[in-house]
Amino acid sequence: MNAKNHYANHLGNFYSWMLGDWKTKETEFREFLFKKNLTAKRNELAIDLGAGNGVQSLALSKLGYQVIAVDFNKQLLSELKKNAKDSNQSIQIVEDDILSVVQWKDKQPKFILCCGDTITHLNSKEEIQVFIKSCYESLIPGGNFLISFRDYSKSLTGDSRFIPVMSDPSKIHTCVLEYEEDKIRVTDQLYEKKEGGWVMSVSSYFKVRLLEEECLLYLKEAGFHSEWKETFQRMITILAKK
């Protein structure tokens, strides 16, 4: 499956459960942006690419940004809409691919985000390069681009390929990784306790095996200046400025 079908037919059904309490995650992300001095000035526009159920979008809205939230999964966007309503936040919600970012160039966004491991859902490193260039072209001068992705530089082998993600009395989610040179096959295995016993559902898709040095090079080639980068729990985060 490609990433969109994987989310539509499998992962989107339990993604928010896997992520944990969205209110806690939203607060943590909002505090992160505040600490990094990435709050809005004069009602600036932010575009959240791969918005999911709204963790980043809600944080941005509460920090004063106008927000366009983009994702390809209907179920997660439905959850985002509900979460925004519950939080009394106004967010423009768009069902689309993240490569669509250029359509908002004329709205002059000041901040573009592609967080989580969203960028590796694209089809190739060449497509990632095109995407980064599109983000650069879409931002106003001085605009910020925040990107994060998992550190896949070291291949996991043997038993280390099996990663326990989330569990409770009724569900168990395990992720299995198989490394190739430029891609990673990701298998999401879910056990659900139902009447009569445990039922397993499985689905796989590919992610691009993007390395930190490659991303930094793509950003530089597009015209960005990298402001800072940090790694926490194997998640690489980079802030680049136009």
> How far is residue 209 from each of residues 80, 116, 148, 184, measured CA to CA in Å?
28, 14, 13, 6
pLDDT digits (tens, 9 = 90+) for 15-55: 999 999 999 999 999 999 999 999 999 889 999 999 999 99
pLDDT for residue 196:
85
pLDDT digits (tens, 9 = 90+) for 46-85: 999 999 999 999 999 999 999 999 999 999 999 999 999 9
Closest CA to 115 of 63, 71, 159: 71
Reported pTM? 0.95
pLDDT for residue 209:
97
> What whole-number distance in Å separates Cα of residue 127 and Cα of residue 129?
5
> Tokens 């768009």 label which residue?
94
pLDDT digits (tens, 9 = 90+) for 119-174: 999 999 999 999 999 999 999 999 999 999 999 999 999 999 999 999 999 999 99
> What whole-number distance in Å separates Cα of residue 82 and Cα of residue 103?
25
